[in-house]
């Protein structure tokens, strides 16, 4: 078929031309066309026609989507994202898009979302005081959505790949020293949740993991805990979720002191259950309120963790999550093999452990050199 028959330019008025290109026939034999109005000279319309025909010949032509970004995001979330994401992650995706992307770009037609539009969005987010981390997370979600649009041949390219992201400031983690841990645990022993803090600092478990720990996953006779779930909250509802990664599902060995503390804690909890009577809702949680409800992390931090830090004379900027970092740092500094620490923490890989705790490695190397010196030359 000649170029003239495959496509035509129809002048609709001054600087207004309709480019019409034949795309082939449907399964039912009906002819398909790509139509686009070019507001410019006839030469520009002919150039666009030539470009489309060339793309058709190369097999790279993608007919522009006729849906808005909002409509596409709905389809992507339900069709592509929902089947492969954990419920909590999917909820985060929906929230980020609804809060930052949809109000600004959602009304635009999907093919009309340009790199500059996305760049302007990120700039305004930064100027409004949002952190680089939030912007980067938003970018990861939006870019994933547009990448799928390219795979579905709704877009010729992913516009999010052509923007610059703000430099992310690494969150400074803090690991307590051996003496600080001793002071912390001595003070925490008098707190209602002293056993929780002891477990956190000696196992390196994530807050969601020990707050969702059930007695059925604790074997005090063998001194082991099976980590296989995490507690999450969706609005007013609590639910158990899958572990963060496949490696997060693990067995953690308990120190004898922790086993002893857990036994005492279980006895106190049994007495609370009797006092509460029918008001007690038994979720089999190791750490629960006096009526069996899951703990609120904000309340735990404000009413217990921060006061313990203050009473122990420690910096109040220490986070609950830093108990996990403390456990890992102390083990590595003591010469424990990084692979063992990685498995204990439930990291996805040993490389993640090495990258996260690279500040400990120089001391480990110094110790290794000293051992070699002693072995070969003493």
Q: Say how far apart CA 242 and CA 90 lie, in whole Å.
A: 13
Q: Are residues 228 and 310 in the same domain?
A: yes
368, pLDDT greater than 70: no
DSSP type of residue 172: P
| Tens-digit pLDDT profile for residues 133-144 | 889 999 999 999
Q: Say how far apart CA 71 and CA 149 lie, in whole Å.
A: 12
Q: Say how far apart CA 320 and CA 197 lie, in whole Å.
A: 9
Q: Say how far apart CA 322 and CA 300 lie, in whole Å.
A: 15
105, pLDDT greater than 60: yes
| Lowest model confidence (mean pLDDT) among 45-59, 61-75, 159-173, 249-263 | 45-59
Q: Which residue has the higher pLDDT, 297 or 146?
A: 146
Q: Are residues 74 and 54 in the same domain?
A: no
The whole domain housing 30 covers: 3-58
Q: How confident is residue 233, by pLDDT bands cut at 50, 70 and 90?
A: low
Q: Are residues 209 and 312 in the same domain?
A: yes
Strand partners, 214: 285
Q: Are residues 280 and 187 in the same domain?
A: yes
Which of 300, 320, 340 is the endpoint of a domain? Answer: 320
In the prediction, which pLDDT does 85 show? 86
Average pLDDT over every residue of 98-120: 91
182, pLDDT greater than 60: yes
Q: Are residues 85 and 189 in the same domain?
A: no
Q: How confident is residue 250, by pLDDT bands cut at 50, 70 and 90?
A: very high
Residue 77 lies in a domain: yes
In the prediction, which pLDDT does 201 show? 96
CATH number where 111 lies: 1.10.150.130
Average pLDDT over every residue of 137-154: 91
Residue 348 lies in a domain: no
CATH number where 234 lies: 1.10.443.10
Q: Are residues 149 and 206 in the same domain?
A: no
Q: How is 5-17 classified by DSSP, letter by letter?
A: HHEEEEEEETTEE
In the prediction, which pLDDT does 86 show? 81
In the prediction, which pLDDT does 48 show? 73
Average pLDDT over every residue of 8-37: 75
23, pLDDT greater than 60: yes
3, pLDDT greater than 60: no
Average pLDDT over every residue of 100-111: 91
Q: Are residues 84 and 186 in the same domain?
A: no
Residue 367 lies in a domain: no
Which of 117, 136, 162 is the endpoint of a domain? Answer: 162
Residue 182 lies in a domain: yes
Q: Are residues 103 and 223 in the same domain?
A: no
Average pLDDT over every residue of 69-82: 93
163, pLDDT greater than 90: yes
Across all residues in the chain, what is the average pLDDT? 85
Burial of 79 (0-12, 13-18, 19+ CB in 10 A): exposed
CB crowding 277-314: b at 16 or more within 10 Å, else e: eeebeeeebbbbeeebebbeeeebeeebbeebbeebeb
Percent pLDDT > 70 in the chain is: 87
- Are 161 and 142 in contact by the 8 Å Cβ rule? The answer is no
Average pLDDT over every residue of 146-165: 88
Residue 150 lies in a domain: yes
Q: Are residues 151 and 73 in the same domain?
A: yes
| Lowest model confidence (mean pLDDT) among 22-36, 199-213, 287-301 | 22-36
Q: Say how far apart CA 188 and CA 210 lie, in whole Å.
A: 16
Split into its structural domains, the chain has a count of 3
In the prediction, which pLDDT does 356 show? 77
Q: How confident is residue 59, by pLDDT bands cut at 50, 70 and 90?
A: low
Residue 331 lies in a domain: no
| Tens-digit pLDDT profile for residues 316-333 | 899 999 999 999 989 888
**CA-based nearest residue to 295, from 323, 314, 269:** 269
């Amino acid at each position: 078929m000649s170029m003239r028959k495959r496509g035509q330019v129809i002048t609709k008025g001054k600087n207004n031309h309709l480019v019409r290109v034949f795309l082939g026939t449907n399964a039912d034999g009906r002819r398909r066309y790509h139509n686009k109005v070019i507001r410019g000279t006839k030469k520009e319309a002919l150039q666009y026609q030539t470009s489309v025909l060339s793309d058709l010949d190369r097999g790279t032509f993608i007919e522009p989507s006729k849906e808005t970004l909002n409509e596409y995001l709905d389809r992507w979330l339900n069709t592509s994202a929902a089947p492969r994401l954990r419920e909590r992650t999917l909820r985060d995706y929906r929230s980020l898009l609804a809060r930052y992307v949809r109000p600004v770009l959602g009304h635009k037609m999907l093919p009309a979302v340009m790199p500059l539009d996305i760049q302007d969005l990120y700039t305004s987010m930064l100027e409004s005081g949002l952190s680089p981390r939030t912007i980067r997370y938003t970018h990861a979600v939006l870019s994933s959505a547009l990448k799928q649009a390219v795979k579905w041949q709704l877009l010729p390219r992913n516009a999010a790949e052509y923007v610059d992201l703000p430099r992310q400031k690494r969150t400074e983690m803090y690991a307590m020293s051996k003496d600080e841990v001793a002071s912390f645990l001595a003070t925490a022993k008098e707190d209602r949740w002293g056993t929780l803090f002891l477990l956190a600092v000696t196992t390196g478990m994530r807050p969601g993991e020990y707050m969702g720990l059930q007695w059925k996953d604790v074997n005090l006779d063998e001194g082991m805990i099976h980590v296989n779930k995490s507690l999450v909250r969706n609005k007013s509802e609590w639910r158990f979720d899958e572990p963060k990664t496949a490696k997060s599902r693990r067995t953690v060995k308990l120190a004898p002191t922790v086993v002893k503390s857990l036994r005492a804690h279980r006895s106190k909890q049994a007495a609370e259950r009797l006092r509460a009577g029918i008001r007690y809702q038994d979720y089999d949680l190791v750490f629960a309120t006096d009526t069996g409800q899951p703990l609120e992390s904000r309340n735990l931090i404000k009413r217990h963790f921060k006061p313990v830090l203050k009473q122990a004379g420690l910096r109040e900027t220490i986070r609950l999550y830093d108990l996990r970092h403390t456990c890992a740092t102390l083990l590595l500094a003591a010469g424990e093999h990084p692979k063992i620490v990685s498995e204990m923490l439930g990291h996805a890989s040993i490389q993640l452990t090495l990258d996260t705790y690279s500040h400990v490695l120089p001391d480990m190397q110094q110790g290794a050199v000293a051992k070699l010196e002693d072995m070969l030359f003493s």
